Chains A and B, each alone.
Chain A
Amino acid sequence: MLETIWFLVWGILWAVYFVLDGFDLGLGTLLPILGKTDTDRRTILNAMGPFWDGNEVWLITAGGVTFAAFPTAYAIMFSGLYTPLMLLLLALIIRGVAFEFRHLRDCPYWRALWDGAMTIGSFLPALLLGVAFANIFQGLPLDSQGIFHGNLLTLLNPYGLVGGLLFVLLFALHGAIWLALRTEGELHHRAVAWAGRIYPILGVTLLGFVVLTVPFTGLLRNYLTNPLLLILLIIPLTCFGLLRREIQQGAGWKAWGLSAGLIAGLTLFGVTGLYPNILPSSLDPAASVTVFNAASSTKTLSIMLLVALLFVPIVVLYQVWMYRTFSHKMTSHDLTHDNAY
């Protein structure tokens, strides 16, 4: 029971991470497209400035919870996906530094360097996370000792690549909507226009991903036994359907909420389909890492649950306060204060 609760928490943490860091990874990816001038690019960076670091902690927490609640899964996943995780890490490092370093010098080459770091450092995590999760849904080549028989190229299979593309597009749309929310004038219109352009491409990719999920993964097994659970697929698809009108009407908070619902819904759909596996093995179903054979002791899971129940609501409260205080429509003033990016 505790294992199942923690599996659910694990899935929710990833969903929250993708929703929150998703928009700033997406916006970073779109930086060269949306930011024509230095002022545009500074507006884009400041639009996510107060939030990106707090958002990234959800990744640290998702990783930490994998370690704490399912240490065997953490060990196998992180060592098996060694190279993609290192690439993810390098990308997140240059991205975090880009935020802070770019504005320190008023030299076009210096700024162009960090703009490049921002774009690559945002695109690559979106792609790699998509590839990694698609491969987990599909099953990893794990033997009964939990040793990964493959390399980076094993992961770049058709389904993995569609998953990577899906994440890049989901985040890019989510980011364009965020920029539209926080800006007025030309940049706002450009963001809405790009959201409109990404939308149909995302639609095709989403359809392709859902269709390919049937032959390529075992995710549907749980849904065939409990068809009621299919609501987890219906919710994100409905969000996606409603999103079109909201983008056409100028991409406000409602559009962002629908985009968040789409990302969170798809994540929970995938994770629920995995259960009771965390890392299914494509070599031998018996070698799969499950919620039960990878979990921590009951004592650890109980203490961690207590900590989570006490402190996660507090985290949510102050992050909500943070978003309410700092997500106003930006003006030139937001670029002129002492600490602006």
Chain B
Amino acid sequence: MDVLWLSRLQFAMATMFHFIFVPLTLGLSILVAIMETQYVRTGETVYLRMAKFWGKLFIINFVLGVVTGITLEFQFGTNWSRYSAYVGDIFGSLLAIEATLAFFLESTFLGAWIFGWNKLSPKLHAACIWLVAAASNISALWIIIANGFMQHPLGYVLRNGRAELDSFFAVITNSFAWQQYIHTLAGAFALAGFFVMGISAFHLLRHNETDFFSRSFRLGAIFALVFSLLVAVQGHHHAQAVTRIQPAKLAAMEALWETPKPGEGAPMYLLLWPDEANERNAVEALGIPGGLSFLAYGSFTAPVQGLNAWPKEERPPVLITFLSFRAMVGLGTVMIALAAWAWLRRKRLQESPKLLRLLPYAIPIPYLALQAGWVVAEVGRQPWIVYGLMKTADAVSPVAASQVTFSLVALTLLYALLGAADITMLTIYARKGPKPA
């Protein structure tokens, strides 16, 4: 394999692994902060125990997010140095701002929270976890604004052989980036809801700490339901923005090859399997005439471009984009159904063993949905690293393939071991339940 493909694989592996831990950090930090605030307000020790138990799981998850995040900042320079030099004027500053505004805050106050239970006043201690929660979510904002620039570059001017900043305001108010941010955040919050519900269900089924886990469950169920719905509704608007801004990505998501004749609108097929080699679909059945046009533009006859409108080398990989999009939407639908079921039964949990047995196994669903969503965003943007501005193939570093092979193998092995250890630790501590009151 050449340096380009090795670097692509490494970036995909490192980013996807990092993103196993990020969404739980984003959502669970807020849930723990709510629990501790309840304790400060009511003085009920069950909330204190909740904050401590879920906080412990939060920390075990958090540490891998932190250490794997450093890899990402480094990788732009090590593996994508031509990209870094070309857009660093804009992209680099967003990463530096993220560190200054958010990462310092997050790391410092997490230290204060972990070690401050007996040293800080309850109010100040609760403030620490709110600062961690705010900082994690602000951190995500800057990272996604940076990614938004790659998806829909704005506010730049081509000068001195590179993209230079023209309008900082345009870069940070990029509506495409903000949509991605809301979409990611809502998904992450729903994921945290499923995480809390799943572990609570495990204990409720065993009649273990029923009061403790019923309260946890209800909090998780509200989060899971509200944000599964939000992510779907907002996702629809986001897809409409993709249609306008990255039409080739949308065509790949829907495996639409031919641009329909004017006035006809693009159909939507319920059964579909793309055949990339022959630039057509192997299976195309149960079509809704104009369905895709309607979803994309709200009109059955609106024009949607097909993949054949682009030369082959300017299209994203169709099968991966297509399947990931379907996986995301399908899993998202399952999330809504499960969360609604859980919410309806929230007051009669002990009488719902089926639900309680199912929910621990539902924890991976939002994880897979979120990963699939990012695959659509990133693979669907190919061959561009910055949409319309720079191709991924032109962005790679002038390094030796042997170097990248070494780092890819080393990172993969290490990540596999650490990931397994982390999931084992999370499982042990989750099963153990809270410390006796």
Interface residues of A, Cβ cutoff 8 Å to B: 49-54, 56-57, 59-61, 63-65, 67-69, 71-72, 74-79, 82-83, 85-86, 89-90, 92-94, 96-97, 99-101, 104-105, 145, 147, 296-297, 299-300, 303-304, 307-308, 311-312, 315, 318-319, 322, 325-326, 333, 337-340
Contacts and interface: CB of A to CB of B under 8 A. Distances in A.
Given A93-B67, A96-B67, A100-B60, A54 B104 contact: yes
A316 to B, nearest CB: 10
A65 B73 CA distance: 11
A327 B429 CA distance: 29
A91 B238 CA distance: 39
A300 B406 CA distance: 35
A308 B100 contact: yes
A54 B168 contact: no
Interface secondary structure of A, over-half rule: helix
Contacts of A96: 63, 66-67
The winner among B64, B87, B98, B115 for most chain A CB atoms within 10 A is B115
B150 to A, nearest CB: 15
A79 B362 CA distance: 42
10 contacts: A54-B104, A57-B107, A64-B92, A68-B93, A74-B81, A86-B406, A90-B411, A90-B414, A326-B116, A339-B114
A319 B104 contact: yes
Nearest to A95: B67
Contacts of A59: 70
Contacts of A338: 52, 56, 117, 435
A300 B166 CA distance: 9
A82 B59 CA distance: 31
Given A104-B60, A325-B120, A304 B96 contact: yes
The winner among A59, A75, A104, A299 for most chain B CB atoms within 10 A is A75
Contact of A104 (B84, B111, B410, B429): B429
Nearest to A297: B164
B209 interface: no
Nearest to B396: A79
Given A64-B98, A147-B398, A51 B81 contact: no
A82 B407 contact: yes
A96 B428 CA distance: 20
B111 A50 contact: yes
B100 A300 contact: no
Contacts of A339: 56, 59, 114-115, 117
Contacts of B59: 100, 339
B76 interface: yes
Contacts of A99: 63
Contacts, number: 230
A271 to B, nearest CB: 18
A80 B344 CA distance: 58
A52 B414 CA distance: 21
Contact of A53 (B93, B107, B117, B425): B107
Contact of B66 (A53, A63, A71): A53
Interface of B: 52, 56, 59-60, 63-64, 66-68, 70-71, 73-74, 76-79, 81-82, 84-85, 87-93, 95-101, 103-105, 107-112, 114-120, 159-160, 162, 164-166, 168, 397-399, 403-404, 406-407, 410-411, 414, 418, 421-422, 425, 428-429, 435
Contacts of B74: 63, 78, 85-86, 89
Given A49-B111, A322-B112, A75 B88 contact: yes
Given A49-B115, A74-B88, A297 B165 contact: yes
Nearest to A59: B70
Contact of A300 (B73, B164, B399): B164
B88 A71 contact: yes
B397 A312 contact: no
A311 B101 contact: yes
A64 B73 contact: yes
A72 B88 contact: yes
Contacts of B70: 56, 59-60, 89, 92-93
A145 B398 CA distance: 10
B390 to A, nearest CB: 13
Nearest to A340: B115
A303 B89 CA distance: 11
Given A61-B103, A105-B425, 13 more contacts: A68-B88, A71-B85, A83-B406, A86-B74, A86-B403, A145-B398, A303-B168, A308-B100, A318-B105, A326-B111, A338-B117, A338-B435, A339-B117
Contacts of B397: 75, 79, 82
Contacts of B421: 97, 101
A13 B256 CA distance: 51
Contacts of A63: 73-74, 77
Contacts of B101: 307, 311
Nearest to A67: B92
A61 B100 contact: yes
Contacts of A105: 425
B425 A296 contact: no
B66 A326 contact: no
Given A57-B99, A96-B67, A303-B168, A49 B78 contact: no
Q: What are the 3 closest A-B residue pairs judged by CB atoms, nearest first? A: A71-B88, A78-B77, A67-B92
B436 to A, nearest CB: 13
Contact of B63 (A49, A100, A307): A100
Contacts of B81: 74-76, 78-79
The winner among B110, B111, B418 for most chain A CB atoms within 10 A is B111
A189 B19 CA distance: 45
A86 to B, nearest CB: 4
Contacts of B403: 82-83, 86
Contacts of B165: 296-297, 299-300, 303
B119 A93 contact: no
Contact of B425 (A68, A78, A86, A104): A104
Given A86-B410, A299-B168, A338-B117, A325 B95 contact: no
Given A53-B110, A86-B78, A90-B411, A64 B398 contact: no
A316 B232 CA distance: 41
A325 B160 CA distance: 49
Contacts of A85: 74, 77-78
Nearest to A76: B81
Nearest to B111: A50
Nearest to A294: B85
A15 B411 CA distance: 29
